[in-house]
Structure 1
């Protein structure tokens, strides 16, 4: 087979980064791989992540391994491991009381660990499928999705449930509106997004999205009053008005999406997909590029305090070690 000249081959390689745009745009990817951090002895599915920005430590929920790894980002290595967990899924860090929160699907518990030495600091039993975790930075309350349909509001100081909020089906990705009691919740089994008042403990509204299913990841952009919800069936990024529930934009995205983030500094959106890429888009949903990651690497975390995007890649079938891919957004 005739080989292309080296300059032409280089151009094709750079083109792997490119979405719609010019050749000059293709020359600089919007995400630059800065480091690869191995996760030794980790098998099975990797779920959510959280960060302790002051210590520059990343927590990784290793659902299939029954563990949470604490990774030193500055040293690019594992710092500590929390073992003997039952399918850990959700993670959060609470700065005030300096606590790591782990929600586990297997036993339905929410466990608290001290942020300095990761010693156990309390447990709350929710009963079934404890999943996504969010923290109210103002109150330190921890909000956890769980069971066949509910949010639990937990006081991080007392490690006790303050209230529960019933939902029609199990909640997946959800976000708290800053400075407001509203919570926006993906309900994949109902093909809807719910709006919840977590102070009053009641459901305010549900917004149907016809023809779309499996909406797992969600992000919000307060400045533009926009919710980003990503669907797997079919793969679409949908931008929704926070007040009315009206669709502002909809675009095809990569398959098997598991996380989505707004990068407000660059007016971008990052969609992380198990198809093996991050779909990088402008704030209005228009395409910038699709950056290759690793097949099956769908869990991600964007860390504004460190200006980095982390993508977790599970161990491969042929002996590949699980790893974290650390990306620097550019420019």
Structure 2
């Protein structure tokens, strides 16, 4: 939670027991202080974010004494220093299994878990898990159902198992269709070079990965081929918020934005990002979307009106380079020819 707060990730969801609420209040207080310290007073969490209110009596409800704000802050800074990072990175790749816990501790934990499940409202648990499963299957925001699960007393294992059963398995992006000859690649590069000849600097693409996708899109054959043709590719980083992306776009001033769309949530985040870009003054910047999942047309309808969309699995390198050439020449999105 502390590392998430330090990087501006807007997520906090402890459990709903007295001890959890006490820890949540403690974390929330430090959360606000970290956001103010790291991102300034203008960084505002979204309206739907659940933060536990400060509670002067929280310490009395905790099972064990909670560390103070200074201790937590010091621990976070140590983790971020070169010494702490080196210790973390130097751990062996193959970690030997931990020794088994003493039988009495294991039995006590199992008894506590069984007691917790007996005392909670079983109907509320089933309803919240069903809502979570439906939200995940439909590709909508799971934050609300997750909060309902926490309030109903759903365990993290039950929550994770429900999501794992509802979400499709992650699949790596398939390579783009290869060019039939090196001559076609050279011809496409030549046309791209001619289209960018009037620019004052090399054609710059800004790769945007909205949502929680952290795959290395910059290594995809389409983008790698563009770099081989002299295109500058910049990656704004994974898990960026729309306001952060707008700030990076203002700083880097790319000629074209490339959206990496890996799931329905990334499409929703892309729409929010475009709204943030327009508020920041980016009204006519060409935008290109590479879709890496089987998306229903209604899901892409709103985004398709603003962004040129291509199926990353079915787009050849020469077609991608031709699209970039036409985008640079027109200075805007390409005419609609359907998702390909």
TM-score w.r.t. the length of structure 2 is 0.21
Q: Which has the higher strand share?
A: 1
Q: Which has the higher helix share?
A: 2
Structure whose CA Rg is larger: 2
TM-score w.r.t. the length of structure 1 is 0.21
